[in-house]
Structure 1
Amino acid sequence: MSERILIVDDENNIRLTLKTILEEEGYFCLLASSGKEAIEIMKGQEVDLVITDIWMENIDGIELIEYMKKHGIDAEIIVISGHATIELAVKATKKGAFDFLEKPLSFDKLILSVKNALDRKKLKEKNKWLLEELNKTTPLIGTSPLFQKLLEDIELAAPSDGRILIYGENGTGKEVVAKTIHFKSKRAHMPMVDVNCAAIPEELIESELFGHKKGAFTGATENKKGKFLIANGGTLFLDEIGDMSLKTQAKVLRALQENEITPVGETKSYPVDVRIIAATNKNLQDEIEKGNFRQDLYYRLNVIELYVPSLRERIEDIPLLAEFFVKKFAAEKKIEPKEITNEAMNILMSYSWPGNVRELQNLIERLMIMVPDDKILPKHIPYPINKTTPESEALLSLKDAKEEFEKEYITKVLKITHWNISQASKLLGIERSYLHKKIKKYNIEFNEKINQ
C-alpha cells in the first residue's frame, strides 16, 4: 500500500500543488486546511508523514508537532514556511521535525526530503520490531558438547545466505535456533516471518504463503499479501515443513527455483528475495521413501543441516536452563527468585523430558507460581517427574488435569489411526489444523512402532 502523506496548509493552491506532485510519485495524500482539521484526520486514521506550514490560525505548525509528540503519533514531519528564520528552523527540528523547507518550494528538494523522511520511518519501525523480537526470544543456553557443536554451527551458518534445514524433536527450541540465525545474519534488519505449515488448513496454505487476489476464492474479500512478499529481503521460517502437502511443496519448489511467486488468482509473478530456514521433527528421508515429501525440494532446502539435541541428550544443561527460567519468571511475575535445592535438581536431571526444554520451562513456571516457599524441594516436584511423589499430591489444577487427559486421549486416537491426521481429527470431532496445534502444544511425538 502507498505511504500516506497528510498535507497541512491554509493556502488551497499549495495543498493541491503538493498533492499533484506527490501523487505522481505514487504517494496517497490527505489534505487539511488547518492544524485543527489535521488533528481530526489523525484521530481517525494513521499517516506516515505530515507536511505542515508553520503560520496558521488557531493551531500553528509548532503546536501541531507538539500535539503529535504528546499523543504518540509517530509520523515523520516536514515543516514548510514562507517566513523562515534560522531560529524557527532550529525550534521546529528540536520539537521533532525531520526537515524544514523554505517557500517557494523546490519540488526536487521536496521529493528527496519526503523519500528520506519515509525511509527513516521504515528504519525506525524495523529497529522497533527487531528490539521486540530480541526481547521475546529465549537465548540458546548450554555447555554440553552436543549443544556447543550446534552453537558453533550456527556461528558458521548465520552470516551466509544458504538455506537451512533444522531437525529436532518438539520442544527442543528449533524456532529459537531459527531466530538466532536470523539475528546473526546480514538480513537481521529485515523481517523474519514464521509460518507453521502444520497449523494452517491445506486449502489455505497457498494463500498464506503466496497471497491472493480479491475474489480468487470464496471468502477472498480483499487482496492479501503472502508471507513470501512480507518477508521480502528478510527470512522466511517454514516450521513443520514435513507436514506440508505435496501440492504446496511443488509451489514452494518453484518459488525457490525462480525466486518469484504468483498469488492465488493472479497470472502476474512477483520477484522475491528471501532466505529460507525450515524445521521439522520428522525424518524427511523416510518421508521421501513413503512418497510424502519431494526429494527435489529436500535438496533445495537441505543446503545446511542443523540438529537440535533433545534435553535428555544434554542432561548437564538442565541446571543452567532451570536457573534461567527461574530468573525469567521471577522478573515477569515480579516475585523473588526461588532456589532449587540439590536434591530437587537431581530429580530434574534424572527425568527423560519427552517434552524437552518446553516441558522444563512449563514446570519451572508452575513451581514459581505454586510453591509458597523460597526453596523448591523434591516434594514440590510433581509425578511423574518425581516418581516418589504420590499422584494424589501432584500439583495439578483442574485445568492441568483436563489437559493431561486430553493429551492421553489424543495420543490414543493417533495410535489407533496410525497417525493419519484426517482420520484422527474426524474421530475427535475437530479440525485438522486444531489437532496439529494440540499435537504441538502437548509435544506428542510420532512413534514408528505404532505402525508395526
Structure 2
Amino acid sequence: MAQAKTDSLPKLLIVEDDEGLQAQLKWAYDAYEVVIAGDRESALAALRAEAPAVVTLDLGLPPDPDGVSEGFAVLDAIVELKPDTKIIVASGHGARESALEAIARGAYDFYQKPVDIERLGLIVDRAFRLHAIEEENRRLAARVGSESTVLGAIITAAPEMAKVGRMIERVADTGVSVMLLGASGTGKELLARGLHNVSDRRDGNFVAINCAAIPENLLESELFGHEKGAFTGAVKTTEGKIELADGGTLFLDEVGDIPAPLQVKLLRFLQERTIERVGGRRSIPVDTRIVCATHQNLEAMIGEGTFREDLFYRLAEIVVKIPALAERPGDAVLLARHFLNRFAREMNPGVTGFAPDALAAIDAWPWPGNVRELENRVKRAVIMADGKLVGAEDLDLQDGSEEAETALNLKTAREQSDRRMIRKALARSEGNISNTARLLGISRPTLYDLLKQYDLQT
C-alpha cells in the first residue's frame, strides 16, 4: 500500500489489483492523497486508517478476479463501516447489470473499463464535492438536533426528500433539462437553486421567472429580450432572461402557463441553442441550462392540445417529483420550529416555542398549502402571540386527522404507521431518544430496535 507524502489533500482510496493501472491512476490524481489497495484486507485496513472520502473500486478482485463476488463483499463492508463514503465502482464491457446492482447496494457511481482517465476524473471530482457538501450539511444539522437539509436548502428529516436530493445531485453536472413536479409551496425554486449551486454552472447566474405571473403579451420579451424600437416603449435593447442566464441556469416556474406560440419559440431554443430577440433578426448563441417546474398535469394538457408534446420531452429529460409536506411525516414540526426561531428573532423575541396543543395541531393538519402555508401561519402566530409559547389557537388550525391508511396488508400498514409515528416523535422531541421513547410509550432498547429495523436516522 502506497500513498502521497502530504496529509493536507483530500484522500482517495483506489482498490485495484492491476499494478499497472494502480500506477496510472495514482499519478493521474495529483490533486488528492492517493491510497492504493489490491485486495479486501488491505482495502478495509486503509479505510479504517485513512478514512478516505472517495473510493474507486474494481469489482473483479482476487480471489475472484473474473467475477464480482469479492468486489461486492468489499463494497458491502465499506457501506457498513463508513456509509458516508462515495464509492465509484468499475464495470467491464457488458457488466452494466453489476454496476446497477452496486448502485442499489450503496455505490455512488460507476465507470466503464477500459478506464477513460479524464471521464473518471470528473466523476471523482464530483464525488469529492458532494461529500464535502454533505459533511457541511451534517455539521450544520448537528446544531439543530434531528434537523437536516437537502442541497443545503430544504430542511427535512424525511427519506422521501433525501431521495429527491440524491437524484438532483446525480444529474447536477449532466446538463440535462430537469422538470420539478410538485404542488404549490413544496420548495421547487429552492431545489432548482440547490441544483444550480452543486452543478458545474454554479459560477454562472441563476435566473428565475414565474411564467404565470407575467402577462402573455410581455412574456416573450421577458424570456428572449427585445431590440430597441421593437415595440412602443422599447427605448433600448434589453437582454431577456435566457441571455442573462448564459453560462448558468434558467428556472422556468409554472411552465404550463407558457402560451402556445411561445412554446414553439422555446422549443426552437432548446433544439438549436440560439435565440432571436423580439424585433431582431440576428441569431444569438446562448449556453443556458433549463430547469422548470409546474403543479399542473402537463400530460393531461398534452392530451387537450394546450401543451406541446415535443416541448414536454425537451423540458422533461429528467423528472423529479417533490412530495407534499403531508407526505413527509415529522417535517412539519421541524420546519415550524425553524420558522418560529427565525420570526421570533425578527419580530417577537418574547416567543420561545410551541405549546403541546400547537405541536399536535401541526402534526395533524394536512397542509394543503404545503411549506408556504406553514411558514405563513407560523409567521402570523409569532406576531400575534401574547405569551412565550405559540398555541394551536394562534395558528388558527382546526383539528386535523391522519390520512386513512391505504395499505391493505396488515404487516405493511403497521410498518407504515410505526415509521410515521416514530419520525413524528423524534421531531417532537428534537431527536432526544429518551424523550422519544417516553412519547411513544416504549423503552429505549425497544426504540433502538425499531430505529434499526426501519433504518431510521436519529
With the length of structure 1 as denominator, give the TM-score of the two structures.
0.53
CA contact (8 A) 2:247 2:287 kept: yes
Question: What RMSD in Å do the two structures reach over aligned CA positions?
Answer: 1.8
Choose which of 251, 254, 268 in structure 2 pairs with 1:240.
254
Q: Structure 2: how far apart are the matches of 1:336 and 1:351?
A: 26
CA contact (8 A) 2:361 2:398 kept: no
Choose which of 276, 288, 304 in structure 1 pairs with 2:290.
276
User: Quick one: which amino acid aligns to residue 271 of structure 2?
Assistant: Q
Task: Say whether residues 1:378 and 2:392 are aligned partners.
Answer: yes
1:382 Cα deviation after fit: 1.2
User: Quick one: which amino acid aligns to residue 309 of structure 2?
Assistant: Q
Task: Say whether residues 1:311 and 2:333 are aligned partners.
Answer: no
The 1:149–1:379 alpha-carbon spacing in structure 2 relative to 1, beyond 3 Å, is same
Q: Structure 2: how far apart are the matches of 1:356 and 1:385?
A: 17
CA contact (8 A) 2:351 2:387 kept: no
Alignment deviations for residues 303-328 of structure 1 (CA, whole Å, 9 cap, x no partner): 11111111111132111111111122
Task: Say whether residues 1:171 and 2:195 are aligned partners.
Answer: no
User: Quick one: which amino acid aligns to residue 262 of structure 2?
Assistant: T
Choose which of 119, 143, 148 in structure 1 pairs with 2:162.
148
Task: Say whether residues 1:366 and 2:380 are aligned partners.
Answer: yes
Choose which of 329, 336, 340 in structure 2 pairs with 1:326.
340
Q: Which residue of 2 aligns with 1:160?
A: 174
Choose which of 184, 208, 217 in structure 2 pairs with 1:194.
208
User: Quick one: which amino acid aligns to residue 235 of structure 2?
Assistant: T
Q: Which residue of 2 aligns with 1:290?
A: 304
The 1:156–1:224 alpha-carbon spacing in structure 2 relative to 1, beyond 3 Å, is same
1:381 Cα deviation after fit: 2.8
Alignment deviations for residues 90-118 of structure 1 (CA, whole Å, 9 cap, x no partner): xxxxxxxxxxxxxxxxxxxxxxxxxxxxx
The 1:235–1:210 alpha-carbon spacing in structure 2 relative to 1, beyond 3 Å, is same
The 1:171–1:163 alpha-carbon spacing in structure 2 relative to 1, beyond 3 Å, is same
Q: Structure 2: how far apart are the matches of 1:261 and 1:336?
A: 54
Q: Which residue of 1 aligns with 2:239?
A: 225
| Corresponding residue SS for 1:348 | helix
User: Quick one: which amino acid aligns to residue 245 of structure 2?
Assistant: A
Q: Structure 2: how far apart are the matches of 1:385 and 1:193?
A: 40
Q: Structure 1: how far apart are the matches of 2:383 and 2:182?
A: 30
1:163 Cα deviation after fit: 0.9
1:338 Cα deviation after fit: 2.1
Q: Which residue of 2 aligns with 1:262?
A: 276
1:195 Cα deviation after fit: 1.1
Q: Structure 1: how far apart are the matches of 2:259 and 2:241?
A: 17
1:143 Cα deviation after fit: 1.7
Q: Which residue of 1 aligns with 2:121?
A: none
Q: Which residue of 2 aligns with 1:249?
A: 263
User: Quick one: which amino acid aligns to residue 205 of structure 1?
Assistant: L
Q: Which residue of 2 aligns with 1:14?
A: none
CA contact (8 A) 2:208 2:251 kept: yes
Q: Structure 1: how far apart are the matches of 2:392 and 2:277?
A: 56
- List runs of 5+ in structure 2 lacking aligned partners: 1-150, 402-458
Q: Structure 1: how far apart are the matches of 2:165 and 2:398?
A: 32
Q: Which residue of 2 aligns with 1:213?
A: 227
Q: Which residue of 2 aligns with 1:183?
A: 197
The 1:284–1:386 alpha-carbon spacing in structure 2 relative to 1, beyond 3 Å, is closer
CA contact (8 A) 1:378 1:386 kept: no
| Corresponding residue SS for 1:286 | helix
Alignment deviations for residues 271-319 of structure 1 (CA, whole Å, 9 cap, x no partner): 0001100000011111100001111111111111111111111132111
User: Quick one: which amino acid aligns to residue 285 of structure 2?
Assistant: P
Aligned pair count reads 251
| Corresponding residue SS for 1:322 | helix
Q: Which residue of 1 aligns with 2:26?
A: none
CA contact (8 A) 1:262 1:268 kept: yes
CA contact (8 A) 2:351 2:385 kept: no
The 1:334–1:262 alpha-carbon spacing in structure 2 relative to 1, beyond 3 Å, is same
Q: Structure 2: how far apart are the matches of 1:159 and 1:332?
A: 37
User: Quick one: which amino acid aligns to residue 233 of structure 1?
Assistant: G
Q: Structure 1: how far apart are the matches of 2:247 and 2:341?
A: 36
Identity of aligned residues (%): 43
User: Quick one: which amino acid aligns to residue 336 of structure 2?
Assistant: A
Q: Structure 1: how far apart are the matches of 2:222 and 2:391?
A: 47
The 1:292–1:298 alpha-carbon spacing in structure 2 relative to 1, beyond 3 Å, is same
User: Quick one: which amino acid aligns to residue 374 of structure 2?
Assistant: L
Q: Structure 1: how far apart are the matches of 2:389 and 2:220?
A: 51
Choose which of 344, 347, 360 in structure 1 pairs with 2:361.
347
| Corresponding residue SS for 1:279 | strand
Task: Say whether residues 1:301 and 2:318 are aligned partners.
Answer: no
CA contact (8 A) 1:348 1:385 kept: no
Which consecutive aligned stretches of 4+ in structure 1 deviate over 6 angstroms post-superposition? none
User: Quick one: which amino acid aligns to residue 144 of structure 1?
Assistant: A
Q: Structure 2: how far apart are the matches of 1:319 and 1:310?
A: 14
Q: Structure 2: how far apart are the matches of 1:266 and 1:346?
A: 59
- List runs of 5+ in structure 1 lacking aligned partners: 1-136, 388-452
CA contact (8 A) 2:254 2:292 kept: yes
Q: Structure 2: how far apart are the matches of 1:204 and 1:317?
A: 39
The 1:376–1:385 alpha-carbon spacing in structure 2 relative to 1, beyond 3 Å, is same
Q: Which residue of 1 aligns with 2:217?
A: 203
Q: Structure 2: how far apart are the matches of 1:336 and 1:250?
A: 55
Alignment deviations for residues 122-150 of structure 1 (CA, whole Å, 9 cap, x no partner): xxxxxxxxxxxxxxx98201122321211
| Corresponding residue SS for 1:194 | strand
The 1:352–1:205 alpha-carbon spacing in structure 2 relative to 1, beyond 3 Å, is same
Q: Structure 1: how far apart are the matches of 2:156 and 2:277?
A: 42
> Where does 1:375-414 land on structure 2 (aligned, <5 Å)?
375-384=389-398
| Corresponding residue SS for 2:277 | coil
The 1:281–1:214 alpha-carbon spacing in structure 2 relative to 1, beyond 3 Å, is same
